[in-house]
Structure 1
Amino acid sequence: MTFLENAKNAAAAAAVKDCVTKNVRIIGIGSGSTVVYVVKNLAIKVKEENLDLVFIPSSFQSQQVLLESGLKLSTLTETPILDIVFDGADEIDCHLDCIKGGGGCLTLEKINASCSKKLVIIADHSKLSSVLGEKWKKGIPLEIIPVAYIPILAKLKELGGKPELRMAVAKAGPVVTDNGNFIVDVDFGLIHNPQALNQKLINIPGVVETGLFLGMAKKAYIGLIDGTGPIRPVAPKQEVIEDCVEGLKKKVLGLPIEGSTKASQEQRNPPLSILRASFEGFKALLR
């Protein structure tokens, strides 16, 4: 096993150990190479602890991996509320926003994630970036209605993107998703405002779903370069905002810390470095 594969396995093992608790029974499974390691570790845990878990796949691939591992399958029709979803990512930034869909399964992956109480992303270190578009250079995947692909390509160019219809490797013609649709990959370079871009993309008639997974992940496990892991990136934006607010209350407004009745001199007159760090933190959230 290579360092990269070891990293994926280490991250998957840690995620399964930490997140599959006694309150978790219905688990969604994403798609991609990392999911294989997630399912392997889940199968071991189910067998060793004699757990009664059910799994909802997001693609033909993940369904086959689950079946081969002897795990119990369900559907969103039978179990519409999931306790947790494990999935990979093509790229993940420091706020846990992701680009997904390199495997063409973005729509069902996003549906599963939206039905879950918690989305956990598992990836190797090569997928972690400071801003979306920094590492993943193939563009944002879009699942689209086939008859609309020509006008959609034109509208994407008007938005400043460089779209390409994804072509199949082992068949003639374009990639066809599990839902019978096409995939367009559109390059916008570095994405400093993914929320605004996502809204513009999803508003194009004929676009079924985008590969931007924003504000959905609650936790991420990232395998390290030497094959060990995991590490967790910075918390999602809301948690960062709350930390910044609390920090400003304590350091700038001079409020008591942890129940103390009197603010310290440092709180009332915060060092310049603290003020600068707080300001830079808020600027980063607004990018």
Structure 2
Amino acid sequence: MVGNYDKSKNLEQKKAAAFRAVQMVQDNLIVGLGSGSTMQIFVDLISERIKRERLHLSFVPASKKIEKYSLPFGLNLLDINYVDRIDIAFDGADRIDEQNNLIKGGGGSLFRERQILDMAQSRVIVVDSSKFVSNFAKEIIPIEIVPYNYRWTVHKINLLGFIGNIRGEATPFMTDNGNYIYDAYNLNNFDVTETYHSLKLVAGVVDVGLFKENDYQIIYSHE
């Protein structure tokens, strides 16, 4: 079964990287399933392997979108609240810097993706070559914020050197948690760890799309 995942000039690279990731999956595992177009390709390929090899796998989805996408494939999907472990998690990334720090949240699922990655014993990031940058200056960093008093939250974020927009603006995009996304960027380079913690201290911020290098295995294709 072939899904209608996003088309782009990097589609072949995404397919190649997803294929490599699928080969890492062993039988009888609980697999964390991230979000995004590369993860949709991963679902296509892992479902074919399950049928071909009769694998016994369960999956914990990181978003309603990837959950909905996975349903027609007949994957065994688990509620994260009833899972005490995730053996291996696969996810994509919007950007990766030279220190292997990540920007995530382009699809709006950064909070749930972090939960999946945090629970996983092994973490694999699957990307194409367009995701690599030297640093995160001028790169959009999604920040999930609660709707209540969001203008003040944005003001406090901007005081830390960021500018940006509420995603969707007049009709704000809503995350699976019922929150807004503030797409922010800084014109200058910055320390990822320090900036993450500073933003997290702002009242109203739920999560920040900065993921510090943390034993991620990065799989990519440049072919």
TM-score above 0.5 = yes
Distance 1:149 1:42, change over 3 A: same
Separation (CA, whole Å) in 2 of partners of 1:21 and 1:130: 34
Contact 1:97 1:215 in 2 (8 A): yes
Separation (CA, whole Å) in 2 of partners of 1:76 and 1:37: 22
Q: Report what 1:5 is aligned to.
A: 11
Separation (CA, whole Å) in 2 of partners of 1:3 and 1:102: 18
Measured after TM superposition, the shift of residue 2 of structure 1 is: 6.0
The secondary structure found in structure 1 opposite 2:142 is strand
Distance 1:196 1:29, change over 3 A: same
Separation (CA, whole Å) in 2 of partners of 1:191 and 1:68: 43
Distance 1:2 1:131, change over 3 A: closer
Q: Report what 2:3 is aligned to.
A: none
More helix by percentage: 1
* 1:139-179 Cα deviation digits (max 9, x unpaired): 211111101211111111211111311116xxx51111111
Instruction: Check if 1:165 corresponds to 2:174.
Output: no
Aligned ranges 1:115-264 → 2 under 5 Å = 115-133=119-137, 137=139, 139-167=140-168, 173-224=171-222, 228=223
Q: Report what 2:4 is aligned to.
A: none
Measured after TM superposition, the shift of residue 21 of structure 1 is: 2.6
More strand by percentage: 2
- Identity percentage of aligned residues: 35
Separation (CA, whole Å) in 2 of partners of 1:55 and 1:189: 39
Separation (CA, whole Å) in 2 of partners of 1:182 and 1:151: 13
Q: Report what 1:20 is aligned to.
A: 25
* 1:65-104 Cα deviation digits (max 9, x unpaired): 2112111100212213101111111101233211010111
Separation (CA, whole Å) in 1 of partners of 2:205 and 2:46: 34
Separation (CA, whole Å) in 1 of partners of 2:123 and 2:87: 9
Distance 1:194 1:215, change over 3 A: same
Instruction: Check if 1:110 corresponds to 2:114.
Output: yes
- Segments of 5+ residues of structure 1 without an aligned counterpart are 229-287
Structure-1-length-normalised TM-score:
0.72
Contact 1:13 1:38 in 2 (8 A): yes
Q: Report what 1:282 is aligned to.
A: none
Separation (CA, whole Å) in 2 of partners of 1:145 and 1:52: 39
Within the candidate set 63, 70, 75, 1:71 is matched to 75
Contact 1:91 1:99 in 2 (8 A): yes
Q: Report what 1:101 is aligned to.
A: 105
Distance 1:178 1:68, change over 3 A: same
Separation (CA, whole Å) in 2 of partners of 1:3 and 1:167: 25
Distance 1:95 1:187, change over 3 A: same
The secondary structure found in structure 2 opposite 1:183 is strand
Q: Report what 1:277 is aligned to.
A: none
Instruction: Check if 1:83 corresponds to 2:87.
Output: yes
Contact 1:93 1:128 in 2 (8 A): yes
- The one-letter amino acid paired with 1:88 is G
Distance 1:133 1:217, change over 3 A: farther
Separation (CA, whole Å) in 2 of partners of 1:184 and 1:107: 13
Measured after TM superposition, the shift of residue 217 of structure 1 is: 4.8
Separation (CA, whole Å) in 2 of partners of 1:107 and 1:148: 20
- The one-letter amino acid paired with 1:143 is E
